[in-house]
Amino acid sequence: MRIETLILKNLLNDESYTRRTLPYLKPEYFTERTEKLVYQQVDHFVNKYNSLPTREALIIEIDTEGKISDSDFDSCKECIGELTIDEEQDKVWLIETTEKFCQEKALYNAIMDSISIIDGKEVEDKGKIPELLTDALSVSFDPNIGHDFIDDSDERYDFYHRVEERVPFDLEYMNKITKGGLPKKSLAIILAGTGVGKSLAMCHMSAANLMDGKNVLYITLEMAEEKIAERIDANLLNVPIEELALMPKDMYDKKIERVRNKTSGKLIVKEYPTAVAGSGHFRHLLNELKLKRSFEPEIVYIDYLNICCSARIRAGSNINSYTYIKAIAEEIRGLAVERNIPIVSATQTTRSGFTSSDPGLEDTSESFGLPATADLMIALVSTDEMEENNQIMVKQLKNRYNDPTAFKRFVVGVDRAKMRLYDTDNQDLFDSGPVMDNTKYGERYEEDETMKWKTKKMGKKQLDFEDLVVN
């Protein structure tokens, strides 16, 4: 007996089998025209009436449709008449066999479609071939149909104690606020004004990831590939950026060789023109890197999100910036989930946020939909006082990984000549609040910190507000 016939028999007679397999079956998996027509009618009937059709009902449905010839109708009628189960099949074996059938057919169809694209019979670009094969190889009957709160409690307990794989930072407080680094399937956003250090921070992080043995992809839509690579060179080679052009070739080669010997990772920088690349281009790039260089990044940096384009909304369409930027953020975060990697990007502040020493989510330029989509969002703040001390303040704006009120503000050292960030012991800014902030927010923050200090000093778990004011 052919596997197609066995599948049709059970689709018509076994409801549990039908519910389990019908979402994964497709008409193109059936090579015989008659079997394809019967399957399509079964699928249509179940979706419309939410029950299995009888053989008589199936014949009537095919007859009333009126879109097939008399010879096809006779063939379908004969085929349906033979769809009776003589003996019960092992259910586990039957489902596994059906899954294998779907996988083989999907792969076969993908290969045939790829050949048609290569031969020029299809209008699709050749870059579509990796996606076709990937989709075919991912065909699977997923047994997970929900989490049972009581029955699956053991799995939930294991999840609570499972160590999640993360991409760590080389900055102490960044690891503290993210519980050890960026988890996979996440989108992190750096908010800062022009010239504060968004690209500097991402170049430093990518260099640190490389030295940690990670594969890193840096996508730039703002600066040239060479400019990004120059910043990373200054960081890794420990040379001021203006001195790179003065360095002899032999010395440069020795420093590069030293870096190569210290890491097993790779860092690739790819440039796109501003506002012409989006998640579809990035997905294609990931496929090309995997095929041509056997390179799969463990973290991706995009410099920066607001100058990407949307794959769903046509450029130049009459759409507001909120919707457009939110669409870009959702598509990029979807790419992070699809590829099981963290993605880091950046965005600009508004005009008022650029001059603020204490920016908030409301200072995100163009679209509040961006912070709504991001998993982690931090702001970089620089003032004249901090510039003199070679520091940048980092403020948490949103954090799905940890309590955002813990280490809400902290400072990191910055060496702009070498495009490098580093830990600093001077956390006075974090301990005493935003001392440079003369706004009412800064006053309230200072009052809150004073109250916490008095509460701790008196050694009470709870302290009456009136007593605190008197003291």
CA atoms within 13 A on the CB side of 471: 13
Residue 45: other Cβ atoms inside 10 A = 18
Other Cβ atoms less than 10 A from the Cβ of 195: the count is: 10
How far apart CA 471 and CA 463 sit, in angstroms, is 11
In degrees and rounded to multiples of 5, residue 405 shows phi and psi of: -85, -15
Q: What whole-number distance in Å separates Cα of residue 395 and Cα of residue 379? A: 5
- Report the relative pairing of strands 409-415 and 391-399 from DSSP bridges: antiparallel
Q: What letters, b where the CB count within 10 A reaches 16 and e where it falls short, cover 398-407?
A: bbebeebeeb
At 336, list the tokens. 């992070």
The region of weakest confidence among 125-134, 199-208, 365-374 is 125-134
Tokens encoding 360: 């908030």
Domains with residue ranges and CATH for the chain: 3-137 (1.10.860.10), 166-437 (3.40.50.300), 439-471 (no CATH)
Residue bearing the bigger pLDDT, 89 or 186: 186
Does the pLDDT of residue 313 top 60, yes or no?
Answer: yes
Q: pLDDT tens-digit profile of 31-49?
A: 898 999 899 989 989 888 8
**Distance between the two ends of the chain, CA-based, in angstroms?**
90
Percent of the chain exceeding pLDDT 70 equals 88
- pLDDT higher than 60, residue 445: no
Per the CB < 8 A criterion, the answer to whether 352 and 312 are in contact is no
User: Residue 187 pairs with which residues in a beta bridge?
Assistant: 343
pLDDT higher than threshold 60 for residue 437: no
The pTM assigned to this predicted structure is: 0.67
In the block, residue with structure tokens 């003369």: 438
The Cα–Cα gap between 25 and 101 comes to 9
Which amino acid, residue 114? S
Smallest CA-to-CA distance from 8 within 46, 31, 33, 36 is with: 36
**pLDDT tens digit sequence for 389-407:** 899 999 999 999 888 888 8
Residue 284, token pair as written in the block: 């294609």
In this structure, what are the phi and psi dihedrals at residue 16, rounded to the nearest 5 degrees? Answer: -65, -40
pLDDT the model gives residue 120: 80
pLDDT class for 460, splitting at 50, 70, 90? very low
pLDDT attached to residue 58: 86
Residue of 243, 439, 244 lying closest to 355 (CA atoms)? 439
pLDDT for the residue 427: 61
- pLDDT confidence bin for 174, thresholds 50/70/90: very high
Lowest mean pLDDT among 64-73, 224-233, 286-295: 64-73
Read off the tokens for 229: 């690579």
Question: Look-up: residue for tokens 């120059």?
Answer: 230
Cα(161)–Cα(284) distance, rounded to whole angstroms?
36
Give the best-scoring range by mean pLDDT among 357-371, 373-387, 451-465.
373-387
206, pLDDT greater than 90: yes
Name the band, by pLDDT with cuts 50, 70 and 90, for residue 144: low
Q: Which of 11-25, 167-181, 252-266 has the lowest mean pLDDT?
A: 11-25
Decide if pLDDT at 94 tops 70: yes
Confidence of residue 122 (pLDDT cuts 50, 70, 90): confident
Mean pLDDT value across the chain: 85
